[in-house]
Amino acid sequence: MPTQTPERPAATYHRPEAALEATQHWALRDLPPFPSIAVKLLQLLSDEEVQVKRLIELLRSDAALSAELLRRANSALYGARTQVSSLQQGLVLLGLDQVRSLAMAVALGSYVKSAMRIAALRRCWRHSLATALLSERLAHAVHFEADRAYTAGLLHDIGLLGLMVNNPKEYANLLLVSRENGFDIRVTEQAMFDVDHCEAGAWLARQWAFPEEILNSVRHHHDPIDDSQYGLLAITQSAVLLSDVLGFGVIPPSETGLDPSPYEALRLQFPAAAQDCLPLRMEVLQDFLTQRINAYE
């Protein structure tokens, strides 16, 4: 597809609401299906009482995923003193929620792997991981279920990841055009793909039968936060904003470095409990994210 340079967008971005999940988008045509194991993991996530036995059976049914999961579980940063050699042992050492979150990240990581050769696209994957980790941290602070928040954070940009996997070179170019011109990537997506990643993601989430709460976060993660109800959507939205101000956005920060003031101002907009879980100095949080993401990769 030829490169197009969209016109400079208006100051406020209005996403078309019409026909949100109705039509197949050409830019997503022939996209490989989401791994069935990840869909089943998502369904387990919405179960109140998850049976450990069912989770182990499910993970065992995918040998490649189990092997990868054990490898990651053994990463020093997950703090296992002894070598994790079985899923049961992993569950004992890491806990059910961590194993479930890790399995989801492994499944999504394998889905986007083909696009990871391009550095600009690897950044999008790191952004998803950063948003998942930040969502988990905020959820702990406000007494929300951490693994639900982690998963919503991990999947919030599924539309972006889908567009990227299906059109890697074009998407890398889109990021470049957006960066050079200061465009919101959703405007560039509309111009290049006739759909933005929120709408594309909502369509995919519907196709792949994601739980409604995940679909909601996928569709609305860039909407303004309504903190009268600080639930899953607000947690995801906060984590997305934090990820950007901490330098983990899909567009890299300018070469002059990151200014700490947007982080400090953003932190103060969150409910008190959420503020308390965010260090005053943003470097502390950046180091935490870098360590966790590097350990994961």
Point out which residues bind Fe ion (CB under 5 A). 157, 240
Give the DSSP H/E element, type plus range, for residue 277: none
180: CB partners within 8 A, 6+ apart: none
Residue 6 C-beta: closest distance to Fe ion, Å? 17
Which of 52, 46, 85 minimizes the C-alpha distance to 214? 46
Report which residue's Cβ sits closest to Fe ion. Answer: 157
Distance CA 202, CA 133 (A): 22
Q: Which is nearer to Fe ion, 34 or 248 (CB)?
A: 248
The whole-angstrom distance between residue 41's C-alpha and the CA centroid of its chain comes to 16
Q: Which is nearer to Fe ion, 233 or 240 (CB)?
A: 240
Q: Which is nearer to Fe ion, 65 or 132 (CB)?
A: 132
Residue labelled with tokens 């969150």: 270
Which of 10, 15, 12 minimizes the C-alpha distance to 194? 15
From the CB of residue 197, how many other CB atoms can be counted at a distance below 10 Å? 28
Residue 156 C-beta: closest distance to Fe ion, Å? 6
Residue 132 C-beta: closest distance to Fe ion, Å? 11
Distance CA 148, CA 159 (A): 19
140: CB partners within 8 A, 6+ apart: 146, 277
Q: Which is nearer to Fe ion, 37 or 198 (CB)?
A: 198
Residue labelled with tokens 């016109």: 7
Residue 164 C-beta: closest distance to Fe ion, Å? 12
| 3-state SS, residue 149 | helix
Q: Which is nearer to Fe ion, 28 or 240 (CB)?
A: 240
Residue 67 C-beta: closest distance to Fe ion, Å? 29
Residue 66 C-beta: closest distance to Fe ion, Å? 29
Q: Which is nearer to Fe ion, 240 or 251 (CB)?
A: 240
